[in-house]
Structure 1
Amino acid sequence: MSFLPDIEGRQVMALAAKEFRDRMRNRWVLAVALVFAVFSLVISYFGAAAQGQLGPRSIEFVIASLVSLVIYLIPLIALLLGFDAIVGERERGSLDLLLALPITRLELLLGKYLGLAAALTLSTLAGFALVAGLLWRQFGWAGLYQYLGFMLSSVLLGLAFLSLALLLSVLARERSKASGLAIALWFGFVLVFDLLILGLLVASGGEWGGQALAYVLLLNPTDVFRILNVFSLDQVRSLYGLASIVPPALANPWLMGGAMLAWIAAPLALASWRFKP
């Protein structure tokens, strides 16, 4: 007896290809790539203007400047991309038609996710590729692997919020409710979560929780992304001032990478369980 779900790979890939083609056809990938390219180039080139310098100061400071851009934009884009993946089909009346085909609900969910993930990944990498070229021209290959790691972690952050978006799309019965939940989720993770932790620290004079409070950051994928990039670079770590707050154990990139993968897998698993008939 097998405990693994019976998944037909060809069905999943066919659904993913259709979803990806739809995003390419409506120019979604191009639009997002242009947004990332413009913002990342402006931030990279003018980020050191306050110090009287134009152009990238260093690869580390470019990453430090782009971390905030990624945290604000990528989760929002991923949520807006995937919030209506299932509930939108339900409202249009096409969900029953899709499920009448020889595919399972899990195959439909995975196909939707993979197609949207491919579109999001392509747009993210294409948007940041111009900055990679700028850094390579100025600094050569030395240290460029750090920027490539930043790009990879940005993709993982987007995939985590895309998983959350599909979970919301499965849970919601109306598209309007799904969109409202997506915006609320963005506010909660990107803005409110860190403010609450900061408020607790200030209210307790820094005595509440100690370093154990830092592990609460694992409950927020944006904080996992921030730690993953901050602790990989010495200059960035000192710039953000997290060295005295986050314990060295969390500086392990494999641990943070595993936490990010968990944020991708867990919402998808919950969505699959909730999507059962």
Structure 2
Amino acid sequence: MMPVATIAGQEIRAGLRNRWVVATTLLLGALALSLVLLGSAPTGTVGADPLSVVVVSLASLTIFLLPLIALLLSFDSIVGEQERGTLTLLLSYPVARWQVVVGKFLGQAAIIAIATVIGYGAAAAALAVSTKISPAAWGGFAGMIGSSVLLGAAFVAIGSLASILVRERATAAGLAVGAWLFFVILYDTALLGILVADQGKTVTAGVLDVLLLFNPADAYRLFNMTATEGASVYSGMAGLGEAGRLSPGLLLGALLGWVVLPLVLAILSFRRKQI
């Protein structure tokens, strides 16, 4: 596993050198801090747990931001090396192709994890200094950070797959943007249109649950909106009879599946790729 660790370390060092880690951490930290300041303002009148409010708000914005960052970080991981001519040099060393894919994935996922933990954690610490936070709210916030790392890793895997399937960076960038649009915006829009047109005749509650699991952004959203009682209350999910149909464990399993499946497809595709 030494080649995998070496390649992953090189990706992290490249992220530090290119300011990816710093920029992503500052962006996520500023976003979280702004929501902390806004989310804690109304707690005196409505009695809401400020951290649970922040979890709901931050999860909603993370769905749009973190997948885009992950795709921008990973879309040229292989095709960029190929265009620069360094991929042939890398493969001339005693390293298997799967080790190249896994090493790059782990390094880029680590950048997402570092930025998420530091950026979101710093904002939560700032809130804890001035406000008393319940243990349940801390558990929900930890779950939000962990699921955010999984969401970012899923889109890193999707970006890596896109980078392997094409031969030009511009094409990979187009695929990455298309993937972001599809999973974050178009999928739910199309699903809503189908539900309105179907009127519950074919798309039952069970079918809808399955369809939601086919989108990592939906699995992430549902997990953070229903994982704790406070989050379900403030997100408006507590009053829905079917809100708890998909368990937190199943939703996390779906997110993990979205990490593993694109990564396996990327490994298989890279084995057959002509360099």
**TM-score > 0.5, shorter chain as reference:** yes
Q: 1:146 to 1:52 in 2, by over 3 A?
A: closer
Structure 1 contact 211–247 (Cα < 8 Å) conserved: no
Q: Which fold has the larger relative contact order, with Cα–Cα distance below 8 Å and residues 6 or more apart in sequence?
A: 2
Query: Following the alignment from structure 2 to structure 1, what is the Cα–Cα distance between the partners of residues 8 and 212?
Result: 33
What displacement does 1:220 show?
0.2
1:71 aligns with 2:63: yes
Partner of 1:249: 245
Aligned partner of 1:219 among 181, 200, 214: 214
Deviations 1:253-272, CA, capped at 9 Å, x for gaps: 21111111111000000000
Query: Following the alignment from structure 2 to structure 1, what is the Cα–Cα distance between the partners of residues 226 and 73?
Result: 30
Partner of 1:106: 98
Structure 1 contact 171–274 (Cα < 8 Å) conserved: yes
Ranges in structure 2 where 5+ consecutive residues have no aligned partner: none
Partner of 2:161: 167
Ranges in structure 1 where 5+ consecutive residues have no aligned partner: 1-8
Query: Following the alignment from structure 1 to structure 2, what is the Cα–Cα distance between the partners of residues 64 and 109?
Result: 34
1:270 aligns with 2:265: yes
Query: Following the alignment from structure 2 to structure 1, what is the Cα–Cα distance between the partners of residues 149 and 75?
Result: 18
Deviations 1:129-182, CA, capped at 9 Å, x for gaps: 122203322124623122111111111100011010101011011100000010
Deviations 1:87-144, CA, capped at 9 Å, x for gaps: 0011111111111111110111111111111111101111101222033221246231
Partner of 1:231: 226
Structure 1 residue matching 2:245: 3-state secondary structure: helix
Query: Following the alignment from structure 2 to structure 1, what is the Cα–Cα distance between the partners of residues 109 and 219?
Result: 19
Q: 1:57 to 1:176 in 2, by over 3 A?
A: same
What displacement does 1:241 show?
4.2
Partner of 1:197: 191
Partner of 1:152: 146
Partner of 2:203: 209
The two structures, once aligned, show a CA RMSD in angstroms of 2.0
Q: 1:245 to 1:204 in 2, by over 3 A?
A: farther
Aligned partner of 2:132 among 122, 135, 139: 139
Q: 1:207 to 1:59 in 2, by over 3 A?
A: farther
Structure 2 residue matching 1:103: 3-state secondary structure: coil
Greater shift, 203-212 or 26-35, is seen at: 203-212
Q: TM-score, normalised by structure 2?
A: 0.90
Q: TM-score, normalised by structure 1?
A: 0.90
